[in-house]
Amino acid sequence: MIRVLIAEDQAMVLGALAALLEIERDISVVGQARDGRAALALAQKLRLDVVLTDIEMPEMSGLELAAELKRLAHPARVIILTTFARPGYLRRALEAGAAAYLLKDSPSNQLADAIRRVHGGGRVIDPDLAVEAWTEDDPLTDRERQVLRLAAEGRSGPEIAGALGLSEGTVRNYLSEAISKLGARNRVEAARVARAHGWL
């Protein structure tokens, strides 16, 4: 039996995914979480084979969840299931250790097949998206991305500084660098450009 944890912040989608997978004879949904941090806590308690996660979630994104599981050398393999067909997201997912990157508009039978393939040691990635992912480099550093993400949430300079343990001057420098690299006029435009490419 393949033991799966699902991390998805939309309750209806979470329930639908669980119901869809429970139909399969060889797949068991052993845990469900509405955010990345809760998923990480469950992953550390449960015996898991596969973590199926969305990207954009509260507390911790699916990409951050994948990276943390990799850092902890957790044995579960990660599948990203998202609406975002963005090469930047795919590239970051692979760097974080994800074994598969699936789009939510794919046929439902592909999900169970992907879980089986990933559990067997394989990878599942849309070939067109994979080619595109390596044609455009992400200009942002991890710290610039963190600062820009918090700025995009409407946080002030002092709030960002407090959240990341940085000085306000350092936060201003990171924001300025990110804005410059993205050819944007301000932090809002920089966040929009970064998000459109899957870099945020």
Domain definitions of the chain by residue range: 2-133, 142-197
Question: What percent of the chain is predicted at pLDDT more than 70?
Answer: 96
The predicted structure's pLDDT at residue 138 = 78
| 3-state SS record for the chain | CEEEEEECCCHHHHHHHHHHHHCCCCEEEEEEECCHHHHHHHHHHCCCCEEEECCCCCCCCHHHHHHHHHHCCCCCEEEEEECCCCHHHHHHHHHCCCCEEEECCCCCHHHHHHHHHHHCCCCEECHHHHHHHCCCCCCCCHHHHHHHHHHHCCCCHHHHHHHHCCCHHHHHHHHHHHHHHCCCCCHHHHHHHHHHHCCC
- Place 105 in a pLDDT band, splitting at 50, 70 and 90: confident
Each residue of 20-64: pLDDT tens digit?
999 999 999 999 999 999 999 999 999 999 999 999 898 899 999
Tell me the mean pLDDT in the region 112-121.
Answer: 95
Residue 133 has pLDDT above 60, yes or no: no
Options 3.20.20.10, 3.10.350.10, 1.10.287.470, 1.10.10.10; CATH for 142-197 is: 1.10.10.10
The fold for domain 2-133 equals: Rossmann fold (3.40.50)
- Which amino acid is located at 50 in the chain? V
Q: What is the pTM of this model?
A: 0.70
pLDDT category, 84, cuts 50, 70, 90? confident
The whole-number pLDDT of residue 15 equals 94
